[in-house]
Amino acid sequence: MDLVVARPEGLYCTAGDFYIDPWKPVERSVITHGHGDHAHTGNEHYLAAAPGEGILRTRLGQDINLQLLEYGEVLQHNGVTLSFHPAGHVLGSAQVRLEYKGEVWVASGDYKVEPDGTCAPFEPVRCHTFITESTFGLPIYRWQPQAEIFEEVNQWWRANAEQGKASVLFAYSFGKAQRLLHGIDASIGPILAHGSVEPLNRVYRDAGVYIPETQYAGDFKKTDPALRNALIIAPPSAGGSTWMRRFGEYSDAFASGWMRLRGTRRRRGVDRGFVLSDHADWPGLLWAIEQTGAERVMVTHGSVEVLVRYLRDIGLDAQGFTTEYGNEEEPQEVAS
């Protein structure tokens, strides 16, 4: 029998009798990271990588029953050896390594292969079977180095500031927002954060990640001169809301891997799109899969069919896994 199978509640470890990122409440859950489609409330017991503690408690509740392991630390449960390894996706994100009777499986959760300084970089883990995401699993997705994207953001912000306009940058509250704050040139002007972004900034700072000083955007009025060269970081759901009126004249932009698709920017109705993703691009997915040495690959969310077909063509035993992982970067998603 397979060590991990897809069940109606989530990915299930048969020998260990626990779930990985279950989307329905279960007794024992192992959580790869704090994004809403992977970390749900209502589980009796949570196990996660220690660097994600602040995120999980902020998002799921301070009083969840949470057990923590450092990256690489080993736990035995029902004969299964479990450990977490960095996934490079967001603060605390982990791949789950499971070993049972000499058979090794790794469930990646979401991952990104370019290190970004806001979380431990992705570490390939050797295994027999690799469970991979495929959010951007199409050959058209090839990211530019992030330094180039940050330079584009800086230039846009600087140009707006010179014209006396605020710059509103939409980004997902957890992960993308902090990565942008970490990477941009904070000397251009004041930085304001939406109320859904600020608590997560605090968690990152507490974890020792450099996040420049931010002020609460809600404290500012249209007439405030500070807004004329300010950068405002807000979740996409704030776009078009009355919350935006306080910024007077502004330019807006959206940072997401989906900005690779022109149609997405048009639908969003923003002035600029910055192609910045916290997921592996097509070459990144293929590199990561190769690094594991796995002969068998299970593909979860994203472009499952395309990636499965490609992997079979190169001689791997690949198949899709049906899951309910949406994804935090879905263009239609309105939640922050």
* Residues near Zn ion, by CB under 5 A: 35, 110, 325, 327-328
Residue with Cβ nearer Zn ion (120 or 244): 120
For 76, the 3-state DSSP assignment is strand
Q: How far is the CB of 303 from Zn ion (least distance, A)?
A: 13
Which stretches of 16-153 are assigned E, i.e. beta strand?
A: 18-20, 28-30, 45-49, 66-69, 74-77, 80-86, 94-100, 103-107, 129-134
In sequence order, the 6+-apart residues with CB closer than 8 A to the CB of 212 are 181, 184, 186, 191
Least Å from the CB of residue 299 to Zn ion? 13
CA atoms of 329 and 308, how far apart (whole Å): 22
Least gap, CB of 196 to Zn ion (angstroms): 16
Closest CB 313 distance from Zn ion, rounded Å: 25
Strands 28-30 and 66-69, sheet pairing: unpaired
Q: Which is nearer to Zn ion, 110 or 252 (CB)?
A: 110
Q: Give the burial string for 183-222 (b: 16+ CB within 10 Å, else e).
A: bbebebbbbbbbebbbebbebbbebebebeebeebeebee
Shortest distance, position 87 Cβ to Zn ion, whole Å: 9
When the beta carbons of 321 and 325 are compared against Zn ion, the nearer one is: 325
Select 132 or 160, whichever has its Cβ closest to Zn ion.
132
Nearer to Zn ion, 231 or 299 (CB): 299
